[in-house]
């Protein structure tokens, strides 16, 4: 049991930050990303003794993480909204930060499966086959989801630039 725990601890220390970053890109919120990463890594720990650790652990963790994000987004959609008296004023952002925030907002607006496909293909730089395995779908579905997701991102970013340009 101690060898198993040592192996998992070494994996956790080496890869937890990457798992959190991927979770953030999938959900768009650092607090949720932390929870989702913990959920995924806890599930991996439970099965650690049975996992084939010959280079496929990252793929398994990604699959568990993507499923956790999609499951959580379904559950989260049923939560009641919290009403506030006034919307806080956004802080001024630097130009490069504004563009990054625009991309993150556009990414967050995508449906969970499209967002997962885009993040895994273009941020994690996974081939179509590995993305399909992580999402539990066919390669054709990955291509379709990525195409729709990229189209939606382009439209959202073009609309945002137009609004900013007209507003100046």
More confidently predicted of 51 and 32: 32
Confidence of residue 69 (pLDDT cuts 50, 70, 90): confident
Confidence of residue 125 (pLDDT cuts 50, 70, 90): confident
Q: Do domains 1-83 and 93-168 have the same CATH topology?
A: no
**Does the pLDDT of residue 22 top 90, yes or no?**
yes
Domain boundaries, given as residue ranges, for the chain: 1-83, 93-168
CATH of domain 93-168: 1.10.10.10
End-to-end CA distance of the chain: 63
The reply to whether the predicted model has a pTM over 0.85 is no
Count the Cβ atoms, other than its own, within 10 Å of residue 54.
6
- 1-83 is classed CATH 1.10.1740: yes
Give the pLDDT score at 163. Answer: 45
What's the CA gap between 91 and 109, in Å, rounded? 21
pLDDT exceeds cutoff 60 at 166: no
Indicate the DSSP class of residue 85. S
| Average pLDDT of the segment spanning 13-20 | 94
**Is there a contact between 153 and 110 (Cβ–Cβ < 8 Å)?**
yes
């Amino acid at each position: 049991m101690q060898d198993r725990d040592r192996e998992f601890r070494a994996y956790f220390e080496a890869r937890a930050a990457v798992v959190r970053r991927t979770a953030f890109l999938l959900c768009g919120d650092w607090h949720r990303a932390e929870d989702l990463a913990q959920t995924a890594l806890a599930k991996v720990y439970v099965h650690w003794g049975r996992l084939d650790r010959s280079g496929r652990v990252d793929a398994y963790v990604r699959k568990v993480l993507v499923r956790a994000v999609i499951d959580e987004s379904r559950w989260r959609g049923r939560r009641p909204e919290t009403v506030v008296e006034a919307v806080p004023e956004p802080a001024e952002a630097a130009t490069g930060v504004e563009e990054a925030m625009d991309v993150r907002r556009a990414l967050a607006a995508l449906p969970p499966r499209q967002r997962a496909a885009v993040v895994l293909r273009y941020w994690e730089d996974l081939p179509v086959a590995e993305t399909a395995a992580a999402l539990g779908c066919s390669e054709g579905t990955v291509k379709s989801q990525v195409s729709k997701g990229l189209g939606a991102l382009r439209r959202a970013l073009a609309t945002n630039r137009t609004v900013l340009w007209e507003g100046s």
